[in-house]
Structure 1
């Protein structure tokens, strides 16, 4: 099993405060996932400083492989003392996830994490360890795609306290609401946005405490392979196609000539779906063994434009079913993207006498790779 952790969080400041006393910090590498929700003492600037320091120390040390107990001890000794209350205090919850689905959750004084396994609320009792006077709760799981973790600060649990609700929203009610949302939505953003909307309503539109919800969806890791542009040497066509088909993940071909190379190797005809043609985006094609076939330079240029405008948010994409939108959806969903780029220049787009380093296709691929890397995706580009 090879999983990924899809995380989305939203924080709402206490009414009239410029800074939020809750901080969420994420580290997502090829091997490990770390999420920290830290809630600083009080609210405003002081709380923000405490929470920021706590989350930074936790993530920095844990990603270097330092033991959790040693890391917590460092946090305790590092936090500045509040002059008014005479204590250094920040609660926190840490989620550490491995690619095999093994997850460790460590909690200090935050509301209990909500863990939904097969759509049902987990009630496993934690192992409790003591560091100084701190009681640390620890849960360990082996999770699979479809399981969901929700982290909340106490501003969520106590939403509406003494006003709309005598005792606030309550952890059990938050957990049950998250469970119902999970049956309706598969994206953490939709679940978190919906739940934070409820919190704000319970507060009457003005949060009386910092409130944060973080949702972590366990998903199957998604690989994507893109073949675009014919190789400089036609003798390399077969070699590149074989590699394209052998690499794991969904397959995309961008370019008419490229599609012809693949179809010739497969011995099947490439078809054009003219119904998907748009004034600014050429139509999609169909090719057995390939998940998506598009035109090359124009479609990839439009895809880069969509990625920038949407900031990788699928909900902000046009609802139109065109080739560029489909390409972008697959790119957003992917964790690793392998691009095989042929460097033969199409004279239709530019002067073939221009050097390859200013090839329009190469510039687009380089920009696409940069955007994907900036959004945490692992990208490999090979040139032929």
Structure 2
């Protein structure tokens, strides 16, 4: 496998139990670039609400660090179980977990304790688990762990969920024994068959939403969490903004907007004019977008290139939307860019470094002072909050 050309998309979706203020499940992940390694943990704390959230958070945090440090799995699990607070009502301390530990070449270790068995989906087939080892703690004999070794191929997905998914609808008409793993698997197969390239984010969201929809009143009787790992070729978005420092490089600059390997966004009127002139194409505005443009100029489209928007104002709004995590009601131009970013694994910023005098007015907000500051802000939020690979090239 040419691992350098592949990308590991890792996302999760959650619903909190109806009537509770905090989710009793927890999801955490980390990428370790120098080891070409990705680790994710899903934990389900005993019960629901704040206490369950505390146990799940402690478990996922410790499990992530222990696996990252290559500690002995059994010793790590015992340390976790010894550390959890005891429930005053049930008089036990308990949290389940599933760990995905994927390394260079697709070699993946899945560590499970009491969560529903994970799914390894390839070509709509849930692959059998052949290389499985079971561990039992002498101090905690009722806690059994399974360690499964699998090798991921391009297009494979690993899917894990809490019992809020498998027990969804339990006792309701048509779901006497709940949705179960079989029901979730059949749903996943239908979704992937309809859309073979569905992202991990969208698939996790659909699984969690369907688990809640199983209940006749659309109520969460338990916390619901689904995490999906998807190994595939990366989806690349190139964002070009600002004129280049030297005018004689306009042609070279414009040619970077021709990018068949991914999608392109042009941010800024001057940027769009340069590309339009050099490539001899034009920007078309969809008049239907005007009514949804909000406080920003409406987006346009350049044939052979992609989306075209206003520059600094739009990028500043995109940064704010990403930081808040809420862009559903944002202006059309910003929303379009955010959606493209969410559907991409790698975001490349090509930033022209010629100063635009219009943005140096000291009366304007600080966000408008320099284009580069907004790009750095976008890079930080995309990497830290959304697990995107981001690069910046100044031109």
Please indicate the TM-score interval, normalised by the length of the shorter structure.
0.7 to 0.9
Q: TM-score, normalised by structure 1?
A: 0.76
Sort the Cα spacing of 1:369 and 1:24 in 2 relative to 1 into closer, same or farther, 3 A. Answer: closer
| 2:23 corresponds to 1:23 | no
Residue 205 of structure 1 aligns with which residue?
A: 219
Helix, strand or coil at the partner of 1:328: helix
1:232 aligns with 2:245: yes
- 1:142-164 Cα deviation digits (max 9, x unpaired): 34565443323234333444454
Match of 2:203 among 188, 201, 220: 188
Is 1:337 aligned with 2:351?
no
Taking structure 2 as the reference length, the TM-score comes to 0.75
3-state DSSP class of the match of 1:281? coil
- 1:173 matches 2:183: yes
Q: 2:15, 2:208 within 8 Å by CA — same for their partners in 1? A: no
Report the Cα offset of residue 55 of structure 1. Answer: 1.1
8 Å contact 1:27–1:33 — kept in the other structure? Answer: yes
Q: In the TM superposition, what is the alpha-carbon distance from 1:190 to its structure 2 partner?
A: 3.9
Match of 1:379 in 2: 390
Match of 1:141 in 2: 150
- 2:297 aligned to 263, 281, 295, which one? 281
**1:107 alignment partner, one of 112, 121, 136:** 112
Among candidates 151, 160, 170, match of residue 160 of structure 2: 151
* Structure 1 residue 182: Cα displacement: 3.4
Q: Which residue of 2 aligns with 1:5?
A: 9
Q: 2:312 aligns with which of 297, 314, 317?
A: 297
Deviation, 1:45, is: 4.8
Q: How many residues align?
A: 370
Distance (Å, rounded) in 2 between the aligned partners of 1:303 and 1:86: 48
Q: What are the Cα deviations for residues 308-353 of structure 1, in whole angstroms up to 9, with x where unaligned? A: 67636xxx367x9x6544433322223332323223233455559x
- 1:17/1:272 CA distance change after superposition, 3 Å: closer
SS at match of 2:177: coil
SS of structure 2 residue aligned to 1:35: strand
> Structure 2: 5+ residue runs without aligned partners?
none
Q: Any unmatched runs of 5+ in structure 1?
A: none
| RMSD of Structure 2 on Structure 1 (CA) | 4.0
Distance apart, 1:86 and its partner CA: 5.9
User: In the alignment, which of 57, 62, 70 is matched to residue 62 of structure 2?
Assistant: 57
Change (3 A) 1:335 1:76: same
Q: CA deviation at 1:273?
A: 1.4
- Rate the CA distance shift 1:16–1:97 in 2: closer, same or farther, 3 A: same
Cα distance change of structure 1 residues 36 and 362 upon mapping to structure 2, 3 Å threshold: closer
Looking at structure 2, the residues matched to 364 and 161 of structure 1 have their Cα atoms a distance apart, in angstroms, of: 49
SS in 2 for 1:130: strand
